[in-house]
Amino acid sequence: MKIKEAQDKIKEFDKARGWENCWDLKDLSLNITEEVGEFWSLIKWIDDEKQKKVIKENKDQVSDFIGDTLFLILKIANRTKVDAEKSLEETLKEYESRMPAEKIKEVKHANKFAGGIDNK
């Protein structure tokens, strides 16, 4: 499913239930933080290796996190009349120009490119 198609489908989903104006933007935003919190609770306080194992063992929960969060993001896009597909295209274009692949490969991590000092 394309992003535009998903955004339209969510619009229809809400319309069919009379939910076009339910939940304000603040509540939708906070709901995203709740989803992020659920995901974080899976992987918090463990190192990268253990995170990989936990993710593998909890793929359904990870998939729920992605689906729920995308649903909320696209709901916000509908409420604010933003074309989410265009937003993502513009974001990717901006990232490509800010973080050229050749330069990032030299430093291996975007944080170092920006002057950061972590060990990744």
Q: Residues interacting with Mg ion, by CB under 5 A?
A: 68
Q: Min. distance of Cβ 69 from Mg ion in angstroms?
A: 8
For Mg ion, the closer CB: 14 or 68: 68
Check: CB of residue 54 under 8 Å from CB of residue 42. Answer: yes
Q: Min. distance of Cβ 65 from Mg ion in angstroms?
A: 6
For Mg ion, the closer CB: 8 or 68: 68
Q: Which residues fall within 8 angstroms of residue 117, CB to CB, at 6 or more apart?
A: 111
Check: CB of residue 85 under 8 Å from CB of residue 3. Answer: yes
Give which of 8, 5, 10 is closest to 72, Cα–Cα: 10
For Mg ion, the closer CB: 42 or 110: 42
Q: Min. distance of Cβ 85 from Mg ion in angstroms?
A: 24
